[in-house]
Amino acid sequence: MSKRLENKNIIVTAAGQGIGRATAIAFHNEGAKVIATDINDKTLKVLNKEYPNIKVKNLDSTNKQTIEQFSASLDRVDVLFNAVGFVHHGTILDCDEKDWDFSFNANIKSMYLMTKSIIPKMIKQNKGSIINISSIVSSLRGLPNRFVYGTTKAAIIGFTKSIASDYIKNNIRCNAIAPGTVHTPSWERRVQAAKDPVQAKKDFIARQPMGRIGAPEEVASLAVYLASDESDFVTGIVHPIDGGMSI
């Protein structure tokens, strides 16, 4: 039986850990040829050791020059999975200009640079799927202390819909995934950095009506669907995966 992503060439960003890593593995398990990119050589090495058929590449998704060099080395790209993101904690008053610029650079400019560099290949192929990781904290919901994070994640939704609408005739689909809280290393770090980590964990879980947080593999399953031809009629949509947070 053929696999769901057989023969697809896929680029995954932020693939060293968390959602990006789980998604790179899920794509690989469904038969795709995956290039996993990240700025962390250590985690990429671990991934490549466990999955020697997943190619790894140190790539800063905010660096235009290296992205263009990388893109020039690629032939066909069927799927681009944009997952780079950083969570700034605080309100507008806690957000200096440098925090604002850092978050916009990491969370949305990275997607602009990666997509702009890869999309000409998809236009030539007359086919492609772009998947952007937004968040429930965006234009879907506001939550305390996620001022600049939520602002950038809302921008990703506008970005996704614009790309979807501009390239629909080129058979290029663009969708966003909006996770609730997911168990990843950066989430663990946020919990441990809280004044009372035990209470912080309880508070995170309490936000999720299902009474648990998500697993990166659950987000990866949704990404497999959006990457595959099974979702050929789906574009410009934000897909929440959040344990009921957005009901």
Catalytically annotated residues? 149
> Binder to ligand NAD among 4, 5, 8, 16 (CB under 6 A)?
16
What is the spatial distance between Cα 211 and Cα 223, in angstroms, rounded to a whole number?
A: 23
Q: Look at residue 231 and give its three-state secondary structure.
A: helix
**Per-residue x/- marks for ligand NAD, 46-85, CB under 6 A?**
--------------xxx--------------------xxx
CB atoms within 10 A of CB 52: 9
Per CB under 6 A, does 43 bind ligand NAD? Answer: yes
Per CB under 6 A, does 179 bind ligand NAD? Answer: yes
E strand intervals along the chain = 9-12, 33-38, 55-58, 79-82, 128-133, 172-179, 238-241
Task: Give me the residue whose beta carbon is nearest to ligand NAD.
Answer: 85
CB contact set of 192 (below 8 Å; sequence gap of 6+): none
Per CB under 6 A, does 226 bind ligand NAD? Answer: no
Phi, psi of 86 (to 5 degrees): -135, 135
Please, which residue, 19 or 164, has the CB nearer to ligand NAD?
19
Per CB under 6 A, does 150 bind ligand NAD? Answer: no
CB contact set of 53 (below 8 Å; sequence gap of 6+): 28
Please, which residue, 6 or 188, has the CB nearer to ligand NAD?
188
**Through-space distance between the first and last CA atoms of the chain, rounded to whole angstroms:** 37
Residue with structure tokens 């700025």?
39
Which residues, numbered 206-225, are part of the site for ligand NAD (CB under 6 A)?
Answer: 216
Query: Burial, 53: exposed, middle or buried (Cβ in 10 Å; 0-12, 13-18, 19+)?
Result: exposed
> Binder to ligand NAD among 9, 13, 117, 151 (CB under 6 A)?
13
Per CB under 6 A, does 132 bind ligand NAD? Answer: no
State the minimum distance, in angstroms, from the CB of residue 135 to ligand NAD.
4
Per CB under 6 A, does 38 bind ligand NAD? Answer: yes
Q: Where on the chain is the footprint of ligand NAD (CB under 6 A)?
A: 13-14, 16-20, 38-40, 43, 60-62, 83-85, 106, 110, 133, 135, 179, 181-182, 184-187, 216
